[in-house]
Amino acid sequence: MRRRFRQISDLAVLWAGHRAVPVTLIAFIALWTAVGLSLSFPRQWFLLTNMLGTLIIFFILLLLQHSQNRDMMALHAKLDELIRSSKAGNHWIAAEKKDADAIEGMRQQHHGQITESAN
């Protein structure tokens, strides 16, 4: 089930991120509005399409967030492995899980080390 969701999510993100999608959607909305006004669709019809459009956008945003979170987790795992295999201090591993003050302290310490080694 999880694998299937990932496949659907990746396909939806790939589709939603294509450069032709916004142009196609704007053309479709303009056509839909023109047809609706010329045929005098009732007000409820426009409310229904507005609600469906909002739900679709919300769903696509959730899929994009899911994909971005998965990509960031993979990126952090790769960076952690690079830190582990290099001469860098292991205190940088999983820095993203620390609070903002701790990260700023680590950054300041690193900046101080760079300044000392340059002198």
CA of 93: how far to CAs of 26, 52, 78, 90, 100, in Å?
Answer: 45, 44, 10, 6, 15
Distance CA 21, CA 15 (A): 8
Whether 14 and 71 have beta carbons less than 8 Å apart is answered as no
Write out pLDDT tens, residues 58-92.
888 888 888 888 888 888 888 888 888 887 777 77
Whether 78 and 63 have beta carbons less than 8 Å apart is answered as no
Write down the pTM of the prediction.
0.56
Q: Where are the domains of the chain?
A: 2-88, 90-119
Write out pLDDT tens, residues 5-63.
778 877 877 787 788 888 888 898 888 888 888 888 888 877 888 898 899 888 888 88
Residues 6 or more apart whose CB falls under 8 angstroms from that of 103 comprise 95
Whether 70 and 79 have beta carbons less than 8 Å apart is answered as no
